[in-house]
Chain A
Amino acid sequence: MAKKITVALAGNPNSGKTTIFNNLTGARQHVGNWPGVTVEKKEGNLKHDGYEINVVDLPGTYSLTAYSLDEVIARNFVVEERPDVVVDIVDASNLERNLYLTTQFMELGVKLVIALNMSDLAEARGQKIDTKKLSEFLGAPVVPTVGHKNKGTDELIKAIVDMADEKLNMNRVTAEYGEEIEEEIRKIEELIQRDTGLMQRYPSRWLALKLLEGDEEVAKKVTGEEI
Chain B
Amino acid sequence: MERREILDQVRRSSEHLKGIFGGDIETIISEQRYGFISGICKQVVTRPMEERLTTSDKIDRVVINRVLGIPIFLFFMWLMFKFTFTVSETPMGWVEAGQEWLGDTVGGLFPDGSKLKSLIVEGVIGGLGSVIIFVPLIFILFFCIAILEDSGYMARAAFVMDRFMYKIGLHGRSFIPMILGFGCNIAGIMACRTIEQKRDRFTTILVNPFMSCGARLPVYALLIGAFFPEKGGTVLYSIYILGIVMAIIMAKIFRKYLFPGPPSPFVMELPPYRMPTIKGVIIHMWERGVLYLKKAGTIIFAGCVLVWFLSNFPWSPGYSKDYDVLKQKAESDFASGLVTKDTMDETIINLENEQAREKMQRSYMGSLGRIIEPVVKPLGFDWKIGVGLAGGFIAKEIVVGTLGTLYAVGEADEESVPLRERIQNDTWPDGKKIFTPLTAFALMVFALLYIPCVASIAVIYRETNSWKWPLFAAGYTTALAWVVSFMVYQGGKLIGLE
Contact = CB atoms under 8 A, between A and B. Distances in A.
Are A and B interaction partners? yes
Interface in A129-155: 129-131, 133-134, 137-138
Interface string B14-42: 10110011000110111011101110110
Contact of B25 (A126, A176, A214, A219): A214
A124 to B, nearest CB: 11
A180 interface: yes
Contact of B46 (A67, A127, A175, A209): A127
Nearest to A207: B6
A129 B44 contact: yes
A13 to B, nearest CB: 10
A67 B171 CA distance: 12
A95 B264 CA distance: 24
A195 B1 CA distance: 11
B448 to A, nearest CB: 31
A128 B2 contact: no
Contacts of A213: 25-26, 29
A176 to B, nearest CB: 7
A129 B45 contact: yes
Given A95-B45, A96-B41, A222-B7, A212 B51 contact: no
B9 A214 contact: no
Contacts of B34: 96, 100
B78 to A, nearest CB: 33
Interface residues of B, number: 42
Contacts of A169: none
B267 A100 contact: yes
A77 interface: no
Given A95-B45, A127-B47, A188 B14 contact: no
A177 B17 CA distance: 12
A157 interface: no
B468 interface: no
Given A138-B40, A175-B33, A214-B14, A67 B3 contact: no
Contacts of A223: 3-4, 7
A138 B17 CA distance: 27
A192 B45 CA distance: 38
A137 B51 CA distance: 25
Given A180-B20, A194-B2, A130 B44 contact: yes
Contact of A68 (B32, B36, B196, B269): B196
A101 to B, nearest CB: 10
Contacts of A131: 44
A114 to B, nearest CB: 12
Nearest to A136: B44
The 6 closest A-B pairs by CB, nearest first: A184-B13, A175-B36, A126-B48, A211-B10, A99-B37, A130-B44
A69 B194 contact: yes
Nearest to A67: B196
